[in-house]
Amino acid sequence: MQAGIPDTTPAMNVNRLCGSGAQAIVSAVQALMLRDADFALAGGAENMSRSPYIVPDQRWGAKMGDIRTLDMMLGALNCPFGTGHMGVTAENVAAEHDISRAAQDAFALESQNRAAAAIEAGYFDSQITPVDVKVKRDMVPFLRDEHPKATTAEGLAGLRPVFQKDGSVTAGNASGINDGAAAIVLATATAAEKSGLKPRARVLGYAHAGVRPEVMGIGPIPAVENLMAKTDLTISDFDVIESNEAFAAQALAVNKGLGIDPAKVNPNGGAIALGHPVGATGCIITIKALYELERIGGGIGLITMCIGGGQGIAIAIETL
């Protein structure tokens, strides 16, 4: 409503955990295909820094003894099927796919370096809508992602494992905890033409898949395979691939499982460097894919990500 959209316009919330932003796009596409709408606004928002703490026992009043306080942010980071924190699932993926700590750290460093180069080149400037944020007494324009940081191989190697005593997943080779938001406008070709609008890309297809919850990070592998089966595309047909880096371990497993050329994947850095605001990331990386495709002269893009609980989602787009 604050965007000027009439209050007669229907809306809904989507919760597919990490895949929510991408699912919002898929749901919008489905509405357009079913002629439930001519235009649709899809996106996602996440405010992890303001996730509340709740006291569930207070509903009926506190009794004698200690009471529990639960961190609701962990609700999106712990598997609902009892397999533990998402970081534990990354450790499982690393073990099953023989991915070393050194490989994870090297991947994380490359993500940081690519993001730093893209920021320096101004690639994200046109993608980010500046927002004034109050810092102490001043209003400061938010122009750049805050999560990227100067990183070295030595610094990454010195970090301790977070989720298992002898593990390989660290704060340095995992995505960040972030706030963020993104949105895109979709339309049918007929509606866009009647309105005098020139579409920048079209959605070629989408797909989902399920995997074992304890290795949820490999969800993109069957999701992308399903997408390619539906669209008759091959992995080499994609010119730009935005594959969410929930953890370096799972990102490497996905690249290996799909036979992806690493040069095509997250060319401007991924979530390890830029962050992973869970509900928004799917839409954010769709926008990243679109802008990068336009920058290199057009082509076909793949957007994919794992989903907590054991799923994957994938979307294919083509510039026009």
Catalytically annotated residue among 18, 147, 208, 283: 18
- Cβ-based neighbours of 139, under 8 Å, separated by 6 or more: 132, 133
Catalytic residue among 147, 208, 276, 283: 276
Alpha carbons 198 and 233: distance in angstroms, whole number = 25
H-only helix segments in the chain: 20-33, 86-96, 101-121, 153-157, 189-194, 220-231, 248-258, 271-274, 281-295
Give the β-pairing of 300-307 and 240-243.
Answer: parallel
Q: What is 28-43 written as a DSSP string?
A: HHHHHHTTS-SEEEEE
Is residue 276 part of the annotated active site? The answer reads: yes
- Residue 18 is a catalytic residue: yes
Residue 205 and residue 226 in contact, taking contact as beta carbons nearer than 8 Å:
no
Is residue 283 among the annotated active site residues? Answer: no
**If phi over 0 gives left and psi between -120 and 50 gives alpha, with beta otherwise, what is residue 174?**
beta
Look up residue 175 and give its two tokens.
């995505």
Torsion of CA 260, 178, 249, 128, to 10 degrees: 20
Residues 6+ apart with CB under 8 A from 9: none
55 token code pair: 């006291």
The rounded distance, in Å, linking the Cα atoms of 219 and 254 is: 8
Q: Is 185 helix (H, G, I), strand (E, B) or coil?
A: strand
Place of tokens 């009794």: 63
Number of alpha carbons in the 13 Å side-chain half-sphere of residue 5: 10
What residues are annotated to the active site? 18, 276, 306
